[in-house]
Structure 1
């Protein structure tokens, strides 16, 4: 990425962005052409520049799906850096960003399932219900991920969601080792989860 644009993104200078676009209207298109790249959205996500990120995502929505050299999308980075306003803004622009698979095929939903943010997890499920069906490279659902990481609150949100939308069959999906979420709960000693959520 152009160093001047990187600096503009780091400062979150929207006016400078439009000045840059006036000088070079194809700059975002050239970035979009590169398959794996740090975009202005990645830089803004790390720096917590929400308004700038929203401008770029509006101008060039496809940049929000790009993975950088670390295998992370702008939404993954915003979650890692706890930029919740940016997270909510990006999923308002495109709720399918919740399904973008980063390194290890970890989606933002999987990320939240392992980090005990049950409230935002519930927002993600409401915004993109089909995201519950995404699996990691290890064939783990968000339910497996929550259990494996001891995120009982997230686990309960996920199971409650599955029951409400009549998708309890996801609880029977097996990971690469042939374990369902119940097997994972029992083998990891998560008796609270196995007793409360599995009849």
Structure 2
């Protein structure tokens, strides 16, 4: 990426962005042609430059699903850098970004579960509940991730949404996720039992 564009993205300088576009109207198109690339949106997301990121979303919405060479979407990078407000602003434009999977098949909901960020987890479930159906490249559901990382509050929040949320085939998906096996052949209840058997019994009662 041109260093002037990188600087503009890091600093959130929208005027500089348009000056660069005036010099080379295809400057953003050239970046978009690359399958795996760090876009100006990735940089702005990591730096918390919300206004610049929203401008970039308007100009190049395709950047929002681009994977960087390290396998991260702009939303995932923002989460890694604790840019919570920027994450919310991006989702306000495109709710389905909650389902955009990056490295390891992780989507933003998976990452919120892994880190125990209940505020973002609740936001993600509210804007795109179907993201709970996604599995990682290790065939892990969000519930697997919660228990493997001992994020019990996140697990309970997921259970609550699956139990009470009104969407088509909710009961079917709840049972399917409980019985889903990761690549090691473990279901959610297997993992709970390996961590602490009394907890496994509690979860079994809650879920059924």
What TM-score, normalized by structure 1, do the two folds share? 0.95
- Note if contact 1:172-1:181 (Cα within 8 Å) is conserved in structure 2: yes
- Report the secondary structure of 1:138's partner residue: coil
> Aligned ranges for residues 91-106 of structure 1 at < 5 Å?
91-106=91-106
> Aligned ranges for residues 134-173 of structure 1 at < 5 Å?
134-165=134-165, 166=170, 167-169=173-175, 170-173=177-180
Uncovered stretches (5+) of structure 1, i.e. residues with no partner: none
CA distance in 1 between counterparts of 2:109 and 2:103 reads 14
Q: Residue 192 of structure 2: which of 182, 185, 188 is its match?
A: 185
Runs of at least 4 residues off by over 6 Å: none
Matched, 1:130 2:130: yes
1:22 is displaced (CA, Å) by 2.1
Length, aligned pairs only: 198
**For the structure 1 residues 13 and 162, does the alpha-carbon distance in structure 2 shift closer, same or farther, using more than 3 Å as the test?**
same
**For the structure 1 residues 27 and 161, does the alpha-carbon distance in structure 2 shift closer, same or farther, using more than 3 Å as the test?**
same
Per-residue deviation, residues 96-150 of structure 1 (Å, max 9, x unmatched) = 1111111111111110111011121011011111101100011000110011000
Matched, 1:10 2:10: yes
> Aligned ranges for residues 59-98 of structure 1 at < 5 Å?
59-98=59-98
Uncovered stretches (5+) of structure 2, i.e. residues with no partner: none
- Report the secondary structure of 2:25's partner residue: coil
Equivalence for 2:120: 120
CA distance in 1 between counterparts of 2:109 and 2:48 reads 20
- Report the secondary structure of 1:198's partner residue: helix
Equivalence for 2:203: 197
Equivalence for 2:108: 108
**For the structure 1 residues 158 and 152, does the alpha-carbon distance in structure 2 shift closer, same or farther, using more than 3 Å as the test?**
same
CA distance in 2 between counterparts of 1:85 and 1:128 reads 17
1:67 is displaced (CA, Å) by 0.8
